[in-house]
């Protein structure tokens, strides 16, 4: 190779090396520029989570409220919340007809068939009504508030005073105690229907107004053994299983 060719080759290699160095520097600068742009880019906005939180809280509150309302209609609610005055009443509701139990005053009951709370609790397949406390004690806001205040302040009798059907329907604005039992939801009967239904009892038919009309609660008791009021004068009157005569009921200890 001549001296001139050698010089040309050396010059070519030098130029190639210079171009390569320039390319590397250019690439480094491009990478740095991209990194700077990435670093300067505005941060992404975070999604709003509060609607989700509010929705979850709302669902929980609704579920809790629904559960509380269902519990509110169960006998265990009355027993748990108003435990002092209501404790003696729960066993009378849970009693099994045909079996021994105790009444709301703690007296022994030979057959719970005479306690209307127990009889009405039984399933419809067994001849009952599947009733709960609220089936008979239909509350109004005013009544619940007054009873709640009485319980909180202790301004009530213990054991609770026995109320008749007129008093039980007073808060609901019903015209008479008959509507407590004789209505489309419970016993869809009239007084005349009752007289016919028990006509086989003859002269001692308790539904016949021989001594004026009597309230249902004169004989039918929810949380203690029911009483045949006719036996006060007529000892030969029929006394159903689990019921008491007037004289036996008079000896009960409240």
Nearest residue to 249 via CA among 124, 162, 143: 162
Beta bridge partners of 109: 101
Number of H helices, E strands in the chain: 12, 4
pLDDT tens, N- to C-terminus, the chain (254 residues): 555 555 445 445 544 454 444 444 445 555 455 554 544 555 555 667 777 888 888 888 888 877 767 776 677 777 677 777 888 998 999 999 999 999 999 999 999 999 999 999 999 888 889 998 888 888 788 877 888 888 888 888 887 888 888 888 887 778 888 888 998 888 999 999 999 999 999 999 999 988 888 889 999 999 999 999 999 999 999 999 999 999 999 999 87
Strands 108-109 and 227-228: unpaired
Compute the distance between CA of residue 222 and CA of residue 34 in angstroms, rounded to an integer: 87
Would you state the torsion angle of the CA atoms of residues 26, 27, 33, 35, taken in this order, to the nearest 10 degrees? -160
First CA to last CA distance, the chain: 136
Q: Residue 72 has what pLDDT? A: 66
**Structure token digits, residue 180:** 């407590």
Q: Among the residues of the chain, which ranges form H helices?
A: 3-40, 50-72, 75-81, 83-86, 90-94, 116-121, 133-136, 141-153, 165-170, 178-181, 191-197, 246-250
DSSP 212: B
- As given in the structure block, the two tokens for residue 244 are 């008491």
CA distance 116 to 103: 11
Instruction: Give how far the C-alpha of residue 203 lies from the chain's centroid of Cα atoms, to the nearest Å.
Output: 46
Query: Rounded distance, CA 17 to CA 246, Å?
Result: 126
Among the listed residues 88, 232, 215, the one whose alpha carbon sits nearest the alpha carbon of residue 164: 215
Cα–Cα distance, 106 to 3 (Å, whole number): 132
**Under 8 Å between Cβ of 251 and 229:** no
**What pLDDT does 101 receive?**
96
| pTM tops 0.85 | no
């Amino acid at each position: 190779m001549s001296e001139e060719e050698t010089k040309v080759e050396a010059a070519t290699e030098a130029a190639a090396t210079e171009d390569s160095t320039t390319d590397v520097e250019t690439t480094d600068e491009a990478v740095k520029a991209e990194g700077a742009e990435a670093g300067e880019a505005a941060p992404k906005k975070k999604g709003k989570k509060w609607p989700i939180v509010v929705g979850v809280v709302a669902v929980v509150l609704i579920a809790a409220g629904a559960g509380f309302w269902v519990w509110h209609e169960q006998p265990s609610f009355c027993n748990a919340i108003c435990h002092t005055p209501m404790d003696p009443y729960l066993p009378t509701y849970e009693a099994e007809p045909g079996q021994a139990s105790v009444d709301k005053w703690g007296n022994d009951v030979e057959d719970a068939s005479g306690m209307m709370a127990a009889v009405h609790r039984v399933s419809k397949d067994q001849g009952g009504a599947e009733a709960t406390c609220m089936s008979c004690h239909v509350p109004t806001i005013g009544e619940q508030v007054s009873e709640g205040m009485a319980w909180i302040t202790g301004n009530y009798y213990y054991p609770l005073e026995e109320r008749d059907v007129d008093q039980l329907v007073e808060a609901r604005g019903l015209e008479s105690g008959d509507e407590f039992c004789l209505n489309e939801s419970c016993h869809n009967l009239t007084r005349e229907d009752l007289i016919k239904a028990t006509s086989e009892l003859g002269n001692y038919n308790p539904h016949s107004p021989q001594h004026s009309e009597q309230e249902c609660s004169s004989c039918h008791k929810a949380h203690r053994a029911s009483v045949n009021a006719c036996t006060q004068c007529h000892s030969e009157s029929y006394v159903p299983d689990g019921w008491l005569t007037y004289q036996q009921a008079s000896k009960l200890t409240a």
